[in-house]
Amino acid sequence: MLSIITINYNGAERTIRLLESLAKQTDSDFKVYVIDNASEESDFQTLKNCSTCDVEQVDLIRNSENLGFSGGCNTGIKKALENGSEWVVLLNNDTWVESDFISRLKANLEGKGGLMGIPLIEDNHTAYAGQIEWLKPTLDHIYTIDRLAMSINYAVGAGIAVHKSVFEKIGMLDENYFLYFEDADFSIKAKKAGISVSFLEEPKAPHQVSATTSKLGSPLLLRYHYRNALYFNFKNGPFEVKAALPFWSFWMLLKQAIKYALGNNREVSKAIIQGVLDYHLGKMGRIMEHKTWNKDQK
């Protein structure tokens, strides 16, 4: 069985568009799990009352709190595995698919295992994977097949197919991230465990980049990016990267402190400073909740 998991957070209209595209599939032998991450009541009711949700093929699950991308996906993954899914496909709710998406995807997954990135159409370009660069607050996407062999890459979480054996071997997504970097972290974890991480050339899914996370506001997104970049580099970087983290942190704090003192976009500088401090104070997960983590738990 193949199961699709998508996360909704105050984005019912986009989620319904994805569900409508899935309802038109030529191959209807799959299950859909829509995980609502404690959206506003009006948004949840819009989703709950839509005709594409009111079918046996779609299972709408509402979390009591916003668990972020990683936690929301984990909710769906556990449910899909409990119900016997062989393949779990993560699709952002700001994607949509053509009517032959499932049939073509199944053909590409047949007889294979591991973790496979699904190509995403972003602004008329196809993103095949993400590129890992150490000591960077953001990660770029790779838009040409040729570059896959020339970089350390990862499967982008907006479109990824994972065989059930992967979860059995390495577990779920790391919920410390809440959002950003968890997909790169999962790919590296899989590679370290000897699991194949590969990238499909088709089928492709159009993707409206950052449609959901943009609701959080730019300063907050920067705070997540800088905090999670430090955490990601600490967990996965080689020795020289880990050794450089204190110096990188100091440089970021100094640079933003100077900008703040000069009055240059203080809100942004404050968010970056808070992100760096969050990491060093062990404040992970959803930022407002200030959940802690232990650096010895990797």
- Complete DSSP assignment for 59-81: EEEE-SS--HHHHHHHHHHHHHH
pLDDT in tens, 164-189: 999 999 999 999 999 999 999 999 99
Query: Residue 203, preceding bond cis, omega within 30 degrees?
Result: yes
Number of other residues whose CB lies within 10 A of the CB of residue 201: 10
Radius of gyration of the chain (CA): 19
Q: What is the DSSP pairing of strand 87-91 with strand 120-122?
A: unpaired
pLDDT of residue 296: 46
| CB proximity list for 160: less than 8 A, separation 6 or greater | 89, 90, 115, 116, 117, 118, 183
| pLDDT values of the chain reduced to their tens digit, one per residue, 298 residues | 999 999 999 999 999 999 999 999 999 999 999 999 999 999 999 999 988 877 789 999 999 999 999 999 999 999 999 999 999 999 999 999 999 999 999 999 999 999 999 999 998 899 999 999 999 999 999 999 888 877 789 999 999 999 999 999 999 999 999 999 999 999 999 999 999 999 999 999 999 875 444 444 588 999 999 999 999 999 999 999 999 999 999 999 999 999 999 988 899 999 999 999 999 999 999 987 445 455 444 4
Q: Which domains does the chain have, with CATH numbers?
A: 2-214 (3.90.550.10), 217-292 (no CATH)
Taking the CA atoms of residue 91, residue 96, residue 101 and residue 102 in that order, the dihedral angle to the nearest 10 degrees is 50
Give the integer Cα–Cα distance in Å for 116 and 119.
Answer: 10
Q: What is the pLDDT of residue 290?
A: 44
C-beta neighbour count of 86 within 10 angstroms: 14
As a whole number of angstroms, the distance between CA 19 and CA 42 comes to 18
Query: What pLDDT is recorded for position 216?
Result: 46
C-alpha to C-alpha distance for 144 and 58, rounded to whole angstroms: 34
With contact defined as beta carbons under 8 Å apart, do 8 and 35 qualify?
yes
Other beta carbons within 10 Å of 90: 26
Please give the pLDDT value at position 210: 59
The dihedrals phi and psi of 197, each to the nearest 5 degrees, come to: -120, 110
Please give the model's pTM, rounded to 2 decimal places.
Answer: 0.92
Per-residue pLDDT at 259: 93
Residue 297 has a pLDDT of: 41
pLDDT for the residue numbered 295: 47
pLDDT in tens, 256-288: 999 999 988 899 999 999 999 999 999 999 987
Q: Is 140 helix (H, G, I), strand (E, B) or coil?
A: strand
The type of residue at 183 is D
Q: Which long-range contacts (CB under 8 A, 24 or more apart) does 247-255 make?
A: 248/135, 249/276, 249/279, 249/280, 252/226, 252/276, 253/277
What does the pLDDT read at residue 215? 45
